[in-house]
Structure 1
């Protein structure tokens, strides 16, 4: 827990030191929007410059159902086909949105990745979209590309519950 306190304290200080002018810029991100739906479903993944081409099949690790608890700053990811949790593989932990509402940071409780920084593109009651640089087709030796991951409130039959 001490590790998380240090991480959150550092991120909090960075947010405080961000120039006030950048925090005043208009944005369509509102962290409260996470609470507008109990579940969010990945609806599309595309590479920068080609929004008309859905490449979800090439990036299955970012596809699924997600749950966000803005009151506790907790998240958990689930497989869209089974509803099973991805928690043990880094699919659950803490999150935060920076004060300028431009960055979404994940801090998994478990798994090989310790922190994931994503650019927040949209966050409102109807859409949650982030982007980040990853190796093309998630093959480590490939060049990096920026992918955009689009989510919408999920209204399907799978009901998920957070495990932590």
Structure 2
């Protein structure tokens, strides 16, 4: 019950701090949260800064790069390192997620870790691509100016095994 109260409070704060009308672009009307389940795992294939989609800057943003799993039926997610398959759960890499009813905003609420809520703009969501954007300090360095990064994922078909820290109930 306490988890539901914390989750509800986080979502309310997110809605107040980031009103949906403040985003300039809209996610396509065909986006469907169930498309996250079309692949058991998604791989970050590109990260770019707004205005420079031709330049991949994944190396500058390792915290957003990896393999991810999404369970729309339970609203649960978990992130993994792409090279080892090790879970990022203990550092905020797992918890609850929500996509707003208008399919414009993707909200993460980690179970544990230093970050309480992450709000991301849903750019593309279909069976072959999942892309979100969000503002972060350039190169994820605390005192740098904010930039909008776009994080592109495609279904993962590689051989790295991932072992979830989150167990389905």
TM-score (norm 1): 0.88
Question: What's the CA shift string for 1:24-47, capped at 9, x where partnerless?
Answer: x95242101011000000000000
CA distance in 2, matches of 1:27, 1:131: 17
Which stretches in structure 2 are left out of the alignment for 5+ residues? Answer: 22-26
What's 1:22 paired with? none
CA distance in 2, matches of 1:61, 1:105: 17
Q: What is the aligned residue count?
A: 156
Other structure's SS at 1:38 match = coil
What's 1:149 paired with? 151
- The structure-2 alpha-carbon separation of the partners of 1:106 and 1:10, relative to structure 1 and needing over 3 Å to count, comes to closer
Alignment of 1:12-161 (within 5 A): 27-161=29-163
Q: Tell me which stretches of 4 or more aligned residues in structure 1 moved more than 3 Å.
A: 8-14
CA distance in 2, matches of 1:39, 1:51: 24
Q: Per-residue deviation at 1:158?
A: 1.2
Other structure's SS at 2:121 match = strand
Q: Per-residue deviation at 1:11?
A: 3.9
TM-score (norm 2): 0.85
- The structure-2 alpha-carbon separation of the partners of 1:50 and 1:101, relative to structure 1 and needing over 3 Å to count, comes to same
CA distance in 2, matches of 1:93, 1:38: 16
What's 1:4 paired with? 4
CA distance in 1, matches of 2:96, 2:149: 22
Question: What's the CA shift string for 1:70-98, capped at 9, x where partnerless?
Answer: 11000000000000000000000000000
CA distance in 1, matches of 2:59, 2:29: 30
8 Å Cα contact 1:118/1:130 also seen in 2 = yes
Other structure's SS at 1:61 match = helix
Other structure's SS at 1:51 match = coil
8 Å Cα contact 2:137/2:145 also seen in 1 = yes
CA RMSD, 1 decimal: 2.1
Q: Per-residue deviation at 1:10?
A: 7.3
